[in-house]
């Protein structure tokens, strides 16, 4: 760390392609990739996570239940159920929209690192931002399928699969995109991907408000992630 560098071999991953049961093996989409990272790389991440966890806990919204100690999907299921029941008792209709991010870690804007690190530096200590910069600098991977092995390739975007810090970095990514929710009077509940709920006596009003809110949310996420 004193030299602002880590061994390049730490940033190399062995990715094993595992065929999904009952799927056509001739299609690449029917394989699940398992990434094996350097033990030293993950040990360094673990040390950083132990130091940064209190800071991250103070930054994350209570709406976020994913990748957090003591939180789980049942929390959001209970929250949504309670929200619906409260609206029902007031003769209000409840509408909800669920947003699912396909390959969520790959949506994080890391290409070139500049934008991602700039936004990270706004809320995190300098040493942590610097460490993330080193960890994400030109990560490389090689695919293994049976006895076949590909050439080394660069991972140009997204967070490394199997990374200990990836869940934390993913959680920190959308925090600035959630600020408009209060303005639109929505209840935002997030696990990995967010969903929104709103109540009104008029169903058309619910539909319009949710549509406008989700449109803004998606636009903000795209802007944040380049």
The side-by-side arrangement of strands in the sheet containing 93-98 is 93-98, 194-200, 187-190
**Which tokens go with 177?**
């995109």
pLDDT tens-digit profile of 23-80?
888 888 888 888 899 999 999 999 999 999 988 888 877 777 777 787 777 877 888 8
Q: Cα–Cα distance between 75 and 72 in angstroms, integer?
A: 6
Closest residue by Cα to residue 138 from 1, 9, 34: 9
- Summarize pLDDT for 156-210 with one digit per residue, the tens: 777 888 889 888 888 887 544 444 444 444 555 555 544 444 444 444 554 555 5
**Cα 197 to Cα 50, 82, 211, distances in angstroms:** 34, 11, 11
């Amino acid at each position: 760390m004193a030299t602002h560098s880590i061994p390049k071999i730490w940033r190399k991953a062995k990715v094993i392609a595992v065929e999904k049961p009952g799927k056509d093996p001739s299609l690449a989409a029917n394989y699940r990739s398992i990434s094996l990272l350097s033990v030293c790389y993950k040990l360094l991440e673990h040390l950083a996570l132990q130091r940064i966890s209190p800071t991250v806990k103070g930054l994350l919204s209570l709406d976020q239940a994913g990748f957090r100690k003591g939180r789980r999907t049942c929390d959001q299921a209970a929250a949504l159920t309670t929200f619906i029941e409260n609206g029902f008792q007031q003769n209000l209709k409840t509408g909800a929209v669920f947003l699912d991010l396909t390959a969520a870690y790959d949506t994080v804007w890391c290409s070139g690192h500049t934008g991602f690190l700039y936004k990270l530096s706004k809320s995190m200590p300098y040493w942590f931002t610097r460490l993330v910069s080193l960890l994400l600098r030109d990560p490389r991977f090689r695919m293994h399928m049976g006895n076949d092995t590909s050439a080394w390739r660069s991972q140009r975007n997204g967070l490394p699969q199997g990374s200990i810090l990836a869940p934390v970095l993913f959680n920190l990514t959308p925090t600035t995109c959630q600020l408009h929710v209060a303005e639109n009077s929505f209840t935002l509940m997030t696990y990995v991907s967010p969903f929104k709920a709103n109540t009104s006596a008029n169903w058309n009003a619910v539909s319009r408000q949710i549509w406008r809110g989700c449109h803004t949310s998606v636009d903000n996420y795209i802007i944040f992630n380049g």
